[in-house]
């Protein structure tokens, strides 16, 4: 079949689609133009805003040891797993147990509660749970992007509830915030 015949068949089908689906011709031609142009272009776009250099293929997250004076038993494992999950879901990098092209290691250095708001009877109304993590990031593709930084986040809670009643939820929220901060610092370059 020659290309003129194919073009006529394609145009007939296109017109039929336009009539049955009520798609404007202009919109359809714009879509087709885009489809024909895009394969010749390369784009490095991410819905997360991440900018991962193409040289990076693998990522590793070392176990985050808990060296805080007060220990929440599962915090190390929860934080380490949350970081791995975030990087796997938001980048194309392959997680490795060996040293990756991008490597994260760190230590939990603070886990504490403190009163935020005290009532007239000198009883704490609000308490604050604070977690601080020290992170070292190594980027083999661009050592200028390496960093060693502390990330601190907190959540307030009603002191009348007691920490034990809300601790697991607070820890999860804080871990989500810290892992987002670490991800942004490494791959969104803020």
Lowest mean pLDDT across 18-22, 67-71, 128-132, 151-155:
18-22
Distances in whole angstroms, Cα of residue 39 to Cα of each of 23, 42, 51: 24, 7, 21
Contacts of 113 (CB under 8 A, 6+ apart): 127, 128, 129, 130, 163
Q: Which pair of structure tokens corresponds to residue 50?
A: 């991440």
**Residue 45 confidence (pLDDT):** 39
CA gap 32, 111 in Å, rounded: 56
Q: Regarding predicted confidence, which is higher, 145 or 22?
A: 145
Contact 175, 154 (CB under 8 A): no
Collapse the DSSP code of 131 into the 3-class scheme (helix H, G, I; strand E, B; otherwise coil) and give the result.
strand
Taking all residues of the chain, what is their mean pLDDT, rounded to a whole number? 83
The phi and psi torsions of 158 (rounded to 5 degrees) equal -70, 120
CA gap 94, 38 in Å, rounded: 26
Domains and CATH numbers, the chain: 3-40 (no CATH), 58-188 (3.30.160.150)
Q: Which pair of structure tokens corresponds to residue 71?
A: 């220990």
Note the pLDDT tens digit of each residue in 109-149.
Answer: 999 999 987 666 666 689 999 999 999 999 999 999 999 99
Alpha-helical (H) ranges within 63-103 are 75-90
Cβ of 104: how many Cβ atoms within 10 Å?
A: 21
pTM to 2 decimal places: 0.72
CA gap 117, 127 in Å, rounded: 7
């Amino acid at each position: 079949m020659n290309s003129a015949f194919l073009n006529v068949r394609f145009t007939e089908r296109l017109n039929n689609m336009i009539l049955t689906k009520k798609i404007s011709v202009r919109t359809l031609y714009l879509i087709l133009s885009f489809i024909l142009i895009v394969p010749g272009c390369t784009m490095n776009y991410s819905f997360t805003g991440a900018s991962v250099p193409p040289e990076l293929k693998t990522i590793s997250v070392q176990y985050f040891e808990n060296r805080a004076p007060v220990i929440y038993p599962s915090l190390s494992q929860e934080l380490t797993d949350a970081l791995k999950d975030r990087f796997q879901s938001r980048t194309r990098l392959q997680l490795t147990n060996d040293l990756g092209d991008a490597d994260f290691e760190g230590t939990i250095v603070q886990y504490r509660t403190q009163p935020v708001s005290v009532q007239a009877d000198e009883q704490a109304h609000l308490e604050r749970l604070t977690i601080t993590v020290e992170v070292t990031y190594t980027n083999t593709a661009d050592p200028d992007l390496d960093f060693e930084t502390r990330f601190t986040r907190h959540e307030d809670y009603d002191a009348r509830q007691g920490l034990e009643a809300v601790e697991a939820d607070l820890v999860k929220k804080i871990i989500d915030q810290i892992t987002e901060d670490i991800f942004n610092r490494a791959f969104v370059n803020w």
